[in-house]
C-alpha cells in the first residue's frame, strides 16, 4: 500500500491477509486514475450527460418562512438514480473496467446501493451480483425487481441478522475468493482502505458544486452545512471542500431512531465506542465484549452500526459536530418539505432537513444553511403510507 | 522452549506431522464445548485452535459462522471462553492452544488486556483473522509482551515482502491457507504450496501449518507430503456438532494420516 488510510487514529485496513492484494490493486488503480486526465474526462462526461450534474442548489421559498434563516437544498435527489450514490458507482464502475474486472458485487440494505450498482453494471457491461439480507429482500421486493430489471442478480443473505451488515460480511467473503475477476463496489465511505478515501473523492463533487453555488447566489459561504450520516458518504462528499473554511459549521445528522437513550437507533458517533468493523477502525455500536449491535432507523440508509472513519476523526478533532434526529422528527420534516416546497425527500435526507429546521427556528439573526438533499423519497412511499395513514387511522 | 517448539520437536522425533483441531469455544454451549475439546485430545490432536466467537466473522465460511452464531446465541461471553481455556489447560498441560478471533473483540477489551487474559488462561498463541501484516505490528508486540506467540496467515498469493514480515513478527507456527476464500471444507485441495513453503523456509518463518479446506485423512497426507509441518482441520470437525464420539473417530483417522514417509523426514527436520 502507498498510504495507510488513516484519519487520525481511525481508518486502516483490517481484512484477512488474502484480501490485501485486492485492496493494493484497487489503491494503485485509484491513484493512477486520479492522475489520468482521460479517466477524469470520461467520468466528467458521464456525470454531466448520464447522471445530470451539476445538480441545482434550490432556495426553500416557504419552509423556513418567518425565521431569519435561508435554507438551500443541494439537489442530489435530482441525480439519475434518485440519490447521490450514482456519483460514485459511475466512478467505481469505470475503475473496475480499467482494472479489467468482469464482475461487480455489492452489498445493499433497503436496495438503494444495489440499484445504483445495477445501473453501473448495465452501463459498463459487467456481470452484477448484489448481496442483500434475506429479511430486506422480503421487505423490498420493488427494489429487488429494479435490480433484476437492470440485469443484476440478487443473492439473499441468510446468515447473522439477515440485514445490511450481514450483506457486507457476505460480499467481503465472496471477494476474498473472487477478486481476480471481481470488483467489490462498496456503497459508502467506510470499509478498508482505500474505500473511505476513494468514495470521498468520488463524492466530493457535491460539496465542490454546493460551495461555488452558494458563493454565487449569496456572495458568501454558508454558516452551516448539514448532511445525514449513515455510513457517511453523502456527508463526507458534502463536507470535504468546506473543511478548510473554518467559519462554516459542518453538522452530521445521525438517526436517533426511537430515542438515543434506548437501543433502537443508528447513532454510531453519538452512542458508539471505539472498534473495528468491516475493515476499518472507527466507532461501532456494540456490547462490552465487542459483539456488534443491531442498529435501527425508519431510514434504511442510516441503519448501520458503524460509520466511515473520517467522520469519527472529524468528530474527534471537533471540525464537524454530530447530532441525532428521531424517527418522528424526520417524518415531520419529510411532510413539511413535501407540503411547503413540493419536494419529497428520502427519509435519510429528511433527518438532515429536520435539523436544519431546528437551526432555522432557533436563529436570532440572518443565517444561511445548506442541506444535502441526498436522495428523493419515491423509494420510501410504501413505508410513508404505512406510517402516515396508519397514524391517522 | 514454548509448547509449540516442544510439540514440533516431539513429533519430529516420531516422524509425524502435527494435527491441529479447530473448535468454536462455547459451541453449542459451555459444558458441551468442554467435552468436545477433550474428545479432540482423546482422538490424538497435537494442537488446538479455538475460536472466540465474533458477531461478524468475515473470514469464515458457513459452517464456522453457524458455530459462532450458536455460541453467541447460547450467551457465551469472552470470559466464558477464557474459562474454557483455563479448564482445558489444567487437564492437558502439554497441548498447545491457539486462539483464533477478530480484532473488534481485542479493541473492546483493550488489546493488551485481551492478550494478558488469554495468556493467564493458558493460551499459547493468538491469530487475529482480520489483522493483516500491514496492521500487525502493535498486535505482535502486545502478544509478545503478554508471553503469547503471535500467529500470522500466509497464502499462495502472499508476496515476498509480506513473507519477510511474517518471519519478523510471528512465532509459534505460520497458518498457511490452502486457497483463496474463507474457511470451509473442499473436495479437493489445490496444492500449490511448494513455493510458499520454500519462501517461508528461506525467510526463517515459523513452521507452516496448513488450514482451510482440510477435511479428510487423504488431504492430511497430501498436505504433509507437500511440505507442511502440520495441518489444522476446522469445518470438517465443527460440522459434526455435539457428536463427541464421531469427533474422536474423525480425529483418530486424520491423526493416523500424519505419519511421514521416510523421504519427507529430512524436509521436516528443517522446521523442527
**What pTM value is reported for the model?**
0.95
* Among chain A residues, CA nearest to B62: A159
Which residues, including other chains, have CB under 8 Å from residue B33's CB and lie 6 or more apart?
Answer: B23, B24, B25, B26, B27, B71, B84
* Among chain B residues, CA nearest to A172: B58
Q: Verify whether the Cβ–Cβ distance B58 to A173 is below 8 Å.
A: yes
Interchain contact B177–A (C-beta under 8 A): yes
Distance CA A349, CA A302 (A): 10
B256, B217 contact by CB (below 8 A): yes
* Count of Cβ atoms closer than 10 Å to residue A261 Cβ: 8
What is the predicted pLDDT for the residue at A159?
83
Q: Verify whether the Cβ–Cβ distance A21 to B62 is below 8 Å.
A: no
What is the predicted pLDDT for the residue at A124?
98
Instruction: Provide the edge-to-edge strand list for the sheet that holds A273-277.
Output: A6-7, A10-11, A280-284, A273-277
B 87-126 residues inside an 8 A Cβ radius of A? 102-109
**Is 70 exceeded by the pLDDT of residue B131?**
yes
What is the predicted pLDDT for the residue at B39?
98
Residue of A19, A278, A289 with shortest CB distance to B108 = A289
CA A97-A103-A106 angle, 5° bins: 105
Interface mutation vs chain B, best among A19, A169, A290, most B CBs within 10 Å: A290
Interchain contact B135–A (C-beta under 8 A): yes
A356, A251 contact by CB (below 8 A): no
Report chain B residues whose CB lies below 8 A from the CB of A1: 134
B183 CA to chain A: closest CA distance, Å?
10
| ipTM of this complex | 0.95
Q: What is the pLDDT of residues A39-50, one digit of tens each?
A: 999 999 999 999
**Grid coordinates of B23:** 473448535
- The DSSP call for residue B172 is S
**Grid coordinates of B101:** 478471533
Catalytic machinery residues of B: 49, 60
Q: What is the pLDDT of residues A5-34, one digit of tens each?
A: 999 999 999 999 999 999 999 999 999 999
Write down the catalytic residue from A13, A60, A278, A311: A60
Q: Which helix (H) or strand (E) holds B253?
A: helix B244-256
Q: Taking all residues of chain A, what is their mean pLDDT, rounded to a whole number?
A: 96
B89, A300 contact by CB (below 8 A): no
As a whole number, mean pLDDT of residues B78-101 equals 98
Interchain contact A1–B (C-beta under 8 A): yes
Interchain contact A276–B (C-beta under 8 A): yes
As a whole number, mean pLDDT of residues B191-197 equals 73
Q: CA A9: distance to chain centroid?
A: 22
Sorted by where each begins, the domain ranges of chain B are: 3-269
B46 CA to chain A: closest CA distance, Å?
26
The phi and psi torsions of A205 (rounded to 5 degrees) equal -55, -30
Taking alpha carbons only, the member of A243, A240, A307 closest to residue A269 is: A307
Residue B162 burial (10 A CB sphere; 0-12, 13-18, 19+): buried
Task: Grade residue A162 by pLDDT with cuts at 50, 70 and 90.
Answer: confident
Write b or e for each residue in A91-117: b if 16 or more Cβ atoms lie within 10 A of its Cβ, otherwise e. Answer: bbbbbbbbbebebbbbbbbbbbbbbbb
What is the predicted pLDDT for the residue at B179?
65
- The DSSP call for residue B207 is P
Half-sphere exposure of A385 (CA within 13 A, CB side): 4
Please state the three-class secondary structure of chain A as a single string: CCCCCEECCEECCCCCHHHHHHHHHHHHHHHHHHHCHHHHHHHHHHHHHHHCCCCCEEECCCCCCCCCEEEEEEEHHHCCCCECHHHHHHHHHHHHHHCCCCEEEEEECCCHHHHHHHHHHHHHCCEEEEEEEHHHHHHCHHHHHHHHHCCCEEEEECCCCCCHHHHHHHHHHHHHHHCCCEEECCCCCCCCCCHHHHHHHHHCHHHHHHHHHHHHHHCCCCCEEEEECCCCHHHHHHHHHHCCCCCCEEEEEEEEECCCCCCCCCCHHHHCEEEEECCEEEEECECCCCCECCCCCCCHHHCCCECCHHHHHHHHHCCEEEEEEEHHHHHHHHHHHHHHHCCCECHHHHHHHHHHHHHHHHCCCCEEEEEEECEECHHHHHHHHHHHHHHHC
**Is 90 exceeded by the pLDDT of residue B156?**
no
Residue of B60, B72, B155 with shortest CB distance to A291 = B72
Q: What is the pLDDT of residues A254-288, one digit of tens each?
A: 999 999 999 999 999 999 999 999 999 999 999 99
What is the predicted pLDDT for the residue at A392?
58
**Grid coordinates of A175:** 471477494
Distance CA A73, CA A58 (A): 5
Span B3-269 CATH architecture: Alpha-Beta Barrel (3.20)
Task: Grade residue A338 by pLDDT with cuts at 50, 70 and 90.
Answer: very high
The phi and psi torsions of B76 (rounded to 5 degrees) equal -70, 130
**Grid coordinates of A65:** 418562512
B178 vs B18, higher pLDDT:
B18
Residues constituting chain A: 393
Amino acid at each position: 500500500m502507498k498510504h495507510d488510510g488513516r484519519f487520525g487514529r481511525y481508518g486502516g485496513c483490517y481484512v484477512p491477509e488474502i484480501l490485501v492484494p485486492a485492496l493494493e490493486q484497487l489503491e494503485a488503480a485509484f491513484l493512477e486514475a486520479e492522475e489520468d486526465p482521460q479517466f477524469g474526462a470520461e467520468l466528467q462526461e458521464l456525470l454531466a450527460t448520464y447522471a445530470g450534474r451539476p445538480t441545482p442548489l434550490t432556495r426553500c421559498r416557504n419552509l423556513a418562512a418567518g425565521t431569519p434563516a435561508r435554507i438551500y437544498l443541494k439537489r442530489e435527489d435530482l441525480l439519475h438514480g434518485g440519490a447521490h450514490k450514482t456519483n460514485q458507482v459511475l466512478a467505481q464502475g469505470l475503475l473496475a473496467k480499467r482494472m479489467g474486472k468482469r464482475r461487480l458485487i455489492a452489498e445493499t440494505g433497503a436496495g438503494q446501493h444495489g440499484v445504483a450498482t445495477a445501473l453501473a453494471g448495465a452501463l459498463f457491461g459487467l456481470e452484477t451480483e448484489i448481496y442483500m439480507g434475506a429479511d430486506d429482500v422480503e421487505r423490498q421486493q420493488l427494489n429487488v425487481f429494479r435490480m433484476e430489471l437492470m440485469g443484476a442478480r440478487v443473492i439473499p443473505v441468510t446468515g447473522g441478522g439477515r440485514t445490511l451488515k450481514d450483506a457486507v460480511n457476505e460480499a467481503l467473503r465472496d471477494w476474498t475468493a473472487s477478486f481476480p475477476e471481481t470488483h467489490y463496489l462498496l456503497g459508502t465511505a467506510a470499509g478498508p482502505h482505500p474505500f473511505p478515501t476513494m468514495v470521498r473523492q468520488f463524492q466530493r463533487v457535491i460539496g465542490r458544486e454546493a460551495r461555488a453555488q452558494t458563493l454565487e447566489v449569496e456572495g458568501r459561504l454558508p454558516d452551516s452545512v448539514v448532511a445525514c450520516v449513515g455510513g457517511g458518504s453523502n456527508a463526507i462528499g458534502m463536507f470535504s471542500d468546506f473543511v478548510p473554511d473554518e467559519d462554516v459549521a459542518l453538522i452530521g445528522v445521525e438517526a436517533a431512531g426511537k430515542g438515543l437513550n434506548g437501543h433502537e437507533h443508528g447513532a454510531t458517533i453519538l452512542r458508539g465506542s471505539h472498534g473495528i468493523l468491516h475493515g476499518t477502525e472507527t466507532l461501532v455500536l456494540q456490547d462490552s465484549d465487542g459483539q456488534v449491535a443491531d442498529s435501527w432507523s425508519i431510514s434504511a440508509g442510516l441503519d448501520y452500526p458503524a460509520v466511515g472513519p473520517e467522520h469519527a476523526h472529524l468528530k474527534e478533532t471537533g471540525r464537524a459536530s454530530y447530532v441525532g434526529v428521531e424517527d418522528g422528527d424526520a417524518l415531520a420534516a419529510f411532510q413539511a418539505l413535501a407540503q411547503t416546497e413540493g419536494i419529497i425527500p428520502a427519509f435519510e435526507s429528511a433527518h438532515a432537513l429536520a435539523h436544519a429546521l431546528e437551526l432555522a427556528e432557533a436563529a436570532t439573526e440572518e443565517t444561511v444553511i445548506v442541506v444535502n438533499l441526498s436522495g428523493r423519497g419515491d423509494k420510501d412511499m410504501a413505508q410513508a403510507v404505512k406510517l402516515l395513514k396508519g397514524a391517522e387511522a | 522452549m514454548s509448547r509449540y517448539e516442544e510439540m514440533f520437536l516431539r513429533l519430529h522425533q516420531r516422524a509425524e506431522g502435527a494435527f491441529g483441531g479447530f473448535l468454536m469455544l462455547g459451541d453449542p454451549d459451555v459444558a458441551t464445548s468442554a467435552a468436545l475439546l477433550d474428545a479432540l485430545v482423546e482422538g490424538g490432536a497435537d494442537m488446538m485452535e479455538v475460536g472466540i466467537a465474533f458477531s461478524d466473522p468475515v473470514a469464515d465460511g458457513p459452517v464456522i459462522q453457524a458455530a459462532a452464531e450458536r455460541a453467541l446465541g447460547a450467551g457465551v461471553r469472552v470470559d466464558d471462553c477464557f474459562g474454557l481455556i483455563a479448564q482445558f489447560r489444567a487437564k492437558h498441560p502439554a497441548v498447545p492452544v491457539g486462539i483464533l478471533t477478530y480484532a473488534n473483540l481485542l479493541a473492546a477489551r483493550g488489546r493488551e488486556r485481551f492478550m494478558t487474559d488469554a495468556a493467564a488462561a493458558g493460551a499459547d498463541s493468538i491469530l487475529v483473522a482480520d489483522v493483516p501484516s500491514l496492521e500487525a505490528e502493535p498486535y505482535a508486540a502486545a502478544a509478545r509482551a503478554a508471553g503469547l506467540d503471535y500467529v500470522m496467515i500466509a497464502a499462495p498469493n502472499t508476496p515476498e515482502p509480506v513473507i519477510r514480515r511474517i518471519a519478523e513478527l510471528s512465532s509459534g507456527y505460520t497458518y498457511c491457507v490452502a486457497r483463496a476464500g474463507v474457511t470451509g471444507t473442499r473436495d479437493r485441495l489445490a496444492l500449490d504450496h511448494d513455493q510458499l513453503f520454500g519462501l517461508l523456509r528461506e525467510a526463517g518463518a515459523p513452521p507452516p501449518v496448513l488450514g482451510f479446506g482440510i477435511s479428510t485423512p487423504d488431504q492430511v497426507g497430501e498436505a504433509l507430503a507437500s511440505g507442511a509441518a502440520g495441518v489444522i482441520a476446522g469445518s470438517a470437525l465443527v460440522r459434526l456438532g455435539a457428536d463427541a464420539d464421531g469427533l474422536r473417530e474423525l480425529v483418530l483417522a486424520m491423526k493416523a494420516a500424519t505419519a511421514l514417509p521416510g523421504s519427507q523426514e529430512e524436509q521436516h527436520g528443517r522446521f523442527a
